[in-house]
């Protein structure tokens, strides 16, 4: 009876939301690469994500481990063209015809893993990569870390703070 009531009561998780803009400020341009990582001991489920690219480059996204070994192919892979954007969840198809797009509904990430989102080639100065996302965090309410360190000309890439209010960034929910 006790086990049954525990199962029916649900479990705690945290809904994390963010919308951040990365801008390439270098006159020579360069690809913007954003890594969004989980803390040690944390798990997450990707609920929604949109990566919008202002330039002409493709946008790709993978789930990778702490050694930057990427798993299971892309969950985003767009065509080239101005204003391309990749959206999650996807049903495992792509306008590019790529054969490596994974089914992303309910995509789980383990402790220490990260999402690697990037433009595929060097963009021009003032190109932006806008990332809007919702994650369901398990185990602990630690916000993911965002990094632009792998970007080409990373010192000139700015990563703005999230436009989601502090009150709505991290909310405790029952799942």
Q: Give the pair of three-digit tokens for residue 30.
A: 């360069």
Half-sphere exposure of 7 (CA within 13 A, CB side): 4
pLDDT at 42: 92
Cα separation, 59 vs 121, whole angstroms: 9
26 vs 107: which has the higher pLDDT: 26
What is the phi/psi pair of residue 5, to 5°? -65, -35
Cα separation, 148 vs 169, whole angstroms: 20
Cβ atoms of residues 132 and 14 within 8 Å: no
Beta-carbon contacts of 155 under 8 Å, excluding residues fewer than 6 positions away, are none
Cα separation, 16 vs 173, whole angstroms: 10
Mean pLDDT score, 11-32: 93
- Average the pLDDT over each of 48-62, 94-108, 125-139 and give the range with the smallest value: 94-108
What stretch of H or E contains 19? strand 12-24
Domain ranges of the chain: 10-174
What is the phi/psi pair of residue 156, to 5°? -100, 0
pLDDT at 68: 86
pLDDT at 153: 93
Cβ atoms of residues 64 and 126 within 8 Å: no
Helix (H, G, I), strand (E, B) or coil at 147: strand
Model confidence over 122-140: pLDDT tens digits? 788 889 999 999 999 998 8
The CATH code of the domain at 10-174 is 2.60.120
pLDDT at 2: 44
């Amino acid at each position: 009876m006790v086990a049954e009531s525990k199962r029916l009561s649900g479990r705690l998780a945290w809904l994390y939301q963010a919308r951040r803009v990365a801008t390439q400020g270098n006159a020579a341009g360069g690809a913007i690469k954003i890594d969004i990582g989980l803390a040690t001991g944390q798990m997450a489920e990707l609920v929604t994500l949109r990566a919008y690219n202002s330039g002409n480059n493709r946008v790709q996204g993978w789930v990778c481990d702490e050694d930057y070994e990427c798993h299971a192919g892309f969950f985003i892979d767009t065509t080239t063209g101005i204003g391309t954007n990749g959206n999650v969840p996807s049903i495992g198809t792509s306008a590019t015809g790529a054969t490596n797009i994974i089914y992303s509904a309910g995509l789980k990430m383990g402790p220490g893993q990260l999402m690697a989102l990037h433009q595929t080639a060097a963009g021009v100065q003032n190109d932006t990569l806008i990332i809007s996302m919702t994650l369901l965090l398990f185990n602990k309410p630690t916000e993911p870390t965002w990094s632009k360190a792998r970007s080409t000309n990373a010192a000139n890439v700015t990563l703005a703070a999230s436009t989601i209010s502090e009150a709505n960034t991290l909310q405790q929910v029952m799942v």
